[in-house]
Structure 1
Amino acid sequence: MAEQDKDSRETFGVLFGDFAPGQKDSTENPMMRSKEAAKAALPKRFYKDVSVGTEEGNGEALGGETLYCVLLDGRKVKSPAKKTVCVPTRQLAEALVAEWDAQEKEINPALMPLTRLLNSTVDGVEEAREAIIEEIIAYLNNDFICYPASHPERLVQRQKDHWHPVLDRAEEALGGRFVQASGILAIRQSPVMGERLRALWADLDVYQLGALHSMMTLTGSALLPFALWDGFLEPEAVWNAAMVDEDWNIELWGEDEEATKRRVFRRAEFEAAVQVITALRP
């Protein structure tokens, strides 16, 4: 049992790190954290059975409801901050169980994007709620779909096809107009739009908020996660809209091996956020 406890500490403390939205550490993104962890030997799988358990919610973050957690040989999985990693639906818990059960001989966090996302959510989102919402609102001024290209025409049209429907839907929902940049100069959106988005998302639970923040940082847009949360776009359409410029450059210059690896990693992070948002979307 002591050896198992030691393995558990190594798994959660070293590999998954202690990070959350709104926090900074020496390794600024999940892919870099996973690369750092990969430099050390991955711990062996120390458990045999993986199953779904339950946990009574307590406090504002858990809402007082019965939540679902992952059991490793009957013991609840803990976050790096020693909190039980709980989720509001059995569907999400089963997805977590699948990640843990897929670790055959070693535990590799690079292959566990949903676990990483929910670790950060459980450990830090409630405490950083206001900061996270402020960051999302501020992001509207830098949302990349408001900075279209001016040429070549084929790229301009491709951006319009993917981005303008999102902008139109967001303007309808938020009751205003988004400014489109005509050059490289920074633009500022109406603060009214930000306040209306804040009103929509102020009461989101920590899981939705953490997933939306993650998707925002992955796509470079707050409006694309809004389109998914709103039910306006399906996940594949959101990803394609986020990748318009990257796909264009690949068509022009070909694929780069390292860039392709980063894209695969980002897609896995994206899909983890999708799982949470779609499972809990009103």
Structure 2
Amino acid sequence: MNDTPVTPRSSAPATRRRFWDHTEVVSEPEGFAVRLDGRPVRLPGGAVLRVGSRALAEALAGEWQAAGGGGKGGEFAPSDLRLTRIAGTMLERIAPDRAAVIGVLLGYARHELLCYRVRYPALLVERQQQEWDPWLEWLRARYDVVLRSTDGVMPVDQSPEALAGLQSVLEGLPDGALAALGVAVPALGSLVLGLALVDGRLTAEQAMACATLDERTQMELWGQDAEQAARLEMLGMDVKDAASFLALLHADS
């Protein structure tokens, strides 16, 4: 075949063997496309890997150039193409069906991390107030959306007005921002922090530090958990990918 799928389908092996020597970015009427030895990269659904930002396209090409150790015959996996994954989501999942992705993101609002507080230990209670309250207030001031909080074990129901307001916010975002949120929000467990990241109010590191307040405090009180720390590091990489994607997407504007 002349075109290359970004990620293997479910029946394909976890890794693939690199068959190209060089990558390049080509300016086309529809945007900037990534090519491998002159051949376009195609996503699993058949779309060409083409974006509106040259800076992003160059970064995508860089991923493909580094994949498999940078030489023909090397093995690469989807995890080597982290920005390509987000671009693929933007092109093949969000562009044709924004409503489905928005619905998934709204599900996180119904269980918003910042709205679930503890009653003890006192140190964590205080830190949640100090670090989480300002972002709920930011949401109110920025988007006129008020979310309810609880310190009990039962779920808190957010008002229809709040959910409608968040839906309106999401509907107003471009496809690229929704693609970034699709990666950042599950990692953070927070739509509010994801929106602050997209809005440029938080860096990836700041958003992750806020989202992992509970875990960091528990490890401070009871000792380090290597498995937990490794998991948080992996989630942090997702948030950094989302932030990098956004920065590159808007670098040319």
TM, length-normalised to structure 2: 0.86
Contact 1:212 1:277 in 2 (8 A): no
Taking the TM superposition and a 5 Å limit, the aligned residue runs for 1:1-282 are 8=4, 12-14=7-9, 38=14, 42-57=15-30, 67-103=31-67, 104=69, 105-251=74-220, 252-257=222-227, 259-280=228-249
How many residue pairs end up in the alignment? 245
- Structure 2 unaligned runs (5+)? none
Q: Provide the rounded CA distance (Å) in 2 between the counterparts of 1:203 and 1:279.
A: 20
Whether the 8 Å CA contact 1:144–1:220 is kept in 2: the answer is yes
Q: Percent identity at matched positions?
A: 28
Report the alpha carbon displacement of residue 112 of structure 1 after superposing the two structures with TM. Answer: 2.1
| Unaligned residue ranges in structure 1 (runs of 5+) | 19-35, 58-66
State the Cα distance separating 1:225 from its structure 2 match: 0.8
Instruction: Report the alpha carbon displacement of residue 280 of structure 1 after superposing the two structures with TM.
Output: 4.5
Mean CA deviation greater in 269-278 or 213-222: 269-278
After superposition, the CA RMSD in angstroms is 2.4
SS state at 1:68 partner: strand
| 8 Å contact from structure 1 (residues 53, 76) kept in 2 | no
Distance 2:29 2:157 in 1: 44
For the residue of structure 2 that corresponds to 1:12, the secondary structure is: coil
Give a deviation string over 1:168-198, Cα, whole Å, max 9, x none: 1001122243211120111112222222232
- Return the TM-score normalized by structure 1: 0.78
Asked if 1 retains the 8 angstrom alpha-carbon contact of 2:7 and 2:44, the reply is yes
